[in-house]
């Protein structure tokens, strides 16, 4: 299994990473405009309001786009996944055969341990 580097944690995203350690996937929601956003940050990227809250997500969605790099044991698949909440996140697809991945395929979040840091959310086919 490929080693996963520990994520860089900023103060405004610490809650996200702590939740990941507990097996929970969080997104940010803006109270002012009602839009969900990711990467987690204090200021809404849509309306610039600071009135944002953490929201639990079921961590389910569909593959929007993907690309597999490397080969054999060194292969890994990067993807954009559109969550059920409507926001699209960049991630890795794991525990699957890259040749069987399709656009629109349903996926769910899984949490992978890292090399000395917080768990990292990735996605796997349902």
**DSSP annotation string for 68-102:** EES-GGG-EEEEEEEETTS-EEEEEE-SS-GGG--
Q: Give residue 82's region: left, alpha or beta (phi > 0; psi -120 to 50).
A: beta
Q: Which pair of tokens denotes residue 38?
A: 């990711």
- What pLDDT shows up at residue 1? 57
This prediction has a pTM of: 0.92
Per-residue pLDDT tens, the chain, 126 aa: give them.
578 899 999 999 999 999 999 999 999 999 999 999 998 899 999 999 999 999 999 999 999 999 999 988 888 999 999 999 999 999 999 999 998 999 999 999 999 999 889 999 999 999
Q: Mapping DSSP to helix (H, G, I), strand (E, B) and coil, where does residue 106 land?
A: strand
The answer, yes or no, to whether the previous bond of 39 is cis (omega within 30 of 0) is yes
């Amino acid at each position: 299994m490929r080693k996963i580097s520990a994520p860089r944690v900023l103060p405004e995203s610490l809650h996200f990473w702590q939740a990941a350690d507990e097996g929970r996937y969080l997104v940010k929601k803006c109270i002012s405009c009602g839009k969900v956003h990711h990467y987690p940050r204090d200021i809404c990227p849509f309306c610039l309001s600071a009135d944002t809250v953490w929201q639990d997500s079921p961590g389910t969605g569909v593959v929007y786009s993907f690309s597999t790099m490397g080969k054999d044991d060194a292969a890994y698949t990067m993807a954009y996944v559109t969550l059920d909440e409507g926001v699209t996140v960049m991630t890795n697809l794991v525990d699957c055969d890259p040749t069987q991945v399709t656009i629109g395929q349903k996926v769910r979040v899984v949490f992978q341990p890292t090399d000395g840091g917080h768990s990292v959310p990735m996605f796997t086919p349902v």
